[in-house]
Amino acid sequence: MAQSESKYSDLALLLLRVGVGIIFILAGWGKLTGIEGTINFFTNIGVPLPAVMAWVVAIVEFVGGIMVLLGAYAKIPYLLLAITMLGALYFTKLGGEFSAARLDLMLLLTSLALFLMGSGAYSVDDKISNR
C-alpha cells in the first residue's frame, strides 16, 4: 500500500463506520418505536416468526449501529448487520427493481468490508487492544 493510502485508511474506516452506524441506529430506532408496524410488515412479507424477528432486527440494527459507530466489539455487529441486510434483500427486494435494493446492497457490502478490515485506529476496539 502506498504511503498516502495507508495514511488515510483509519480515517476512511472512521467515515464508513459513522455513515453505516448512523443509518442503522436510525433504522433500528424507527423499528423499535414502531414495533407493531414492524411486526405487521414482517408478517405481510412472509418472515418466519415475524414478532420475534421484528424485535431481533430492531435490536440488532439499533444496538449494532451504536457499536459500529463507536467501533466497539464491532466484528459481531458487522456480521449480524450483514445478515440482516441479506434478509432484507431476500424478503423485500428479490425480483424487484435494482434501484430499490441499492441501499441494502451497499449496507451489506460495507458491513462485510468493515468486518474484513476492522474498525481502524479511531475506535474503541483499537483503544482496548492497545492496553
Distances (CA, A) of 32 to 9, 55, 102: 34, 7, 24
In this structure, is residue 128 part of a structural domain? Answer: no
How many folded domains does the chain comprise?
Answer: 1
Q: Which domain holds residue 22?
A: 13-122
pLDDT confidence tier of residue 5, bands split at 50, 70 and 90: low
Q: What is the pTM of this model?
A: 0.91
In this structure, is residue 46 part of a structural domain? Answer: yes
In this structure, is residue 6 part of a structural domain? Answer: no
pLDDT one-digit tens code per residue, 31-64? 999 999 999 999 999 999 999 999 999 999 999 9
Q: What is the mean pLDDT of the chain?
A: 93
What pLDDT is attached to residue 100? 80
Dihedral of alpha carbons 70, 76, 78, 81, sign: negative
pLDDT confidence tier of residue 93, bands split at 50, 70 and 90: confident
Distance CA 77, CA 82 (A): 8
C-alpha angle 17/89/68, rounded to 5°?
15
